[in-house]
Amino acid sequence: MKVLSLNVRGFAVKGKFGWVRNICARENPWVAAFLETKCAKVDDRWVNALWGGDNFGYVQKEVIGKSGGLLVIWDSSVFDIIDCVGGINFLAIRGKWVSSGMESIIVNVYGPHSDRDKKVFWESLENLVGSINTSWLLVGDFNEVRSSDDRLNSQFHQYRADRFNEFITINALIDIDINGRKYTGISDDGLKFSKIDRFLVNNSFLRLWEDLSVNALDRHLSDHCPLVLRDKLIDYGPKPFKVFDEWLNCEGIDKIILDAWGQPIRGSRKDYIFRDKLKNVKFALKEWSIKEFGGLDLEIYALKREAMEWELNDESNVITDSDRERWLECRRRWVEK
């Protein structure tokens, strides 16, 4: 079982759609909950391109004005939808897991900012969770923290945290720990940190999926980390090789691929022949990219690693203004690649 959650901060931003599409392809989630999509009504073709396959269902809460927008996509071969409901700042789907026939309700949450809207939001969400005795998973950006430790360099309101904790206690929810990161949201200037993205489950959900863990992915093109909930780590075999969009605009790239694909392969099994042909293409592209770009993928990896090291260091240590400038410059170069 694997559920992806991401505050996209607008699919229309340059590069954002491709970035999310690559996450879906790499993680292969059973369910994906996207927030702040800033999308008008999407269609099957758009979702198919994002999801990367035909076995899907989806439901959307369209954007209001210039902000918001919720989208939930699920693999229809593993989750059989029964119904859905949209409310104040949330979108819920109800269905059964095909493997077990057991029911779950998954709620995609994007919490409001103002106190008045928060009051309505918590009441509405409590009414929903209290109305059905089933297994619950609430996921998303709650725009709220549980303690002062969940914020750094940003204002903390104890009464708001108390209300959030009250909601969790009343509904007997469990906050799944996030591996590898203390905070999930970081301001663009690298000054403010917060842990506002979470996965909340009840005991019924835990009985369906044991040993749940949450991993934070690189936040690359968003101010929020993509989060992945899974029941256990699964080895999917060798990772696919990388192809950068920039390569496709280079003269002669098609010949490199065709020549590598056309190299003779010894053997009779078609699956082995196909595998070895892909290996030839992989090695040919790797060798060509080093000559053409000086190893663009290695440069991107180095920038990404340095940016993430600064980011993780800033979570627990006070860094100087000059160090922060180096971090932001490294991140800028990584994003532009």
Amino acid found at 76 = S
Minimal CA–CA distance to 13: which of 189, 227, 221, 219? 221
**Which spans in the chain are helix H?**
16-27, 44-51, 115-131, 158-170, 203-208, 253-261, 270-293, 296-316, 321-336
pLDDT at 105: 97
Starting from the edge strand earliest in sequence, which strands make up the sheet with 227-230, in order?
Answer: 57-61, 70-74, 31-35, 2-7, 227-230, 213-216, 178-179
Using only the alpha carbons of the chain, give its radius of gyration: 22
For 297-306, write each residue's pLDDT tens digit.
555 555 455 5
- Residue 237 has a pLDDT of 47
**Using one digit for the tens of pLDDT, what is the confidence trace for 143-154?**
999 999 999 988
In angstroms, rounded to a whole number, what is the distance separating the alpha carbons of residues 137 and 73? 15
**pLDDT tens digits along 191-240:** 888 999 999 999 999 999 878 999 998 877 888 899 999 986 544 445 55
Of all residues in the chain, the percent with pLDDT exceeding 90 is 53
Phi, psi at 36, each rounded to 5°: 50, 50
User: Residue 116: pLDDT band by 50, 70, 90 thresholds?
Assistant: very high
User: Average pLDDT of the chain?
Assistant: 84
More confident residue, 139 or 62: 139
- Residue 328 has a pLDDT of 63
Distance of CA 164 to the CA centre of its chain: 23
Q: What pLDDT is attached to residue 284?
A: 81
What pLDDT is attached to residue 88? Answer: 83
Give the Cα-Cα-Cα angle 97, 26, 57 (nearest 5 degrees): 40
Kindly provide the b/e burial profile for residues 140-170, where b requires at least 16 CB atoms within 10 angstroms of the residue's own CB. Answer: bbbbbbbeeebbbeeeeeeebbebbeebeee
Q: Is the pLDDT of residue 241 over 90?
A: no
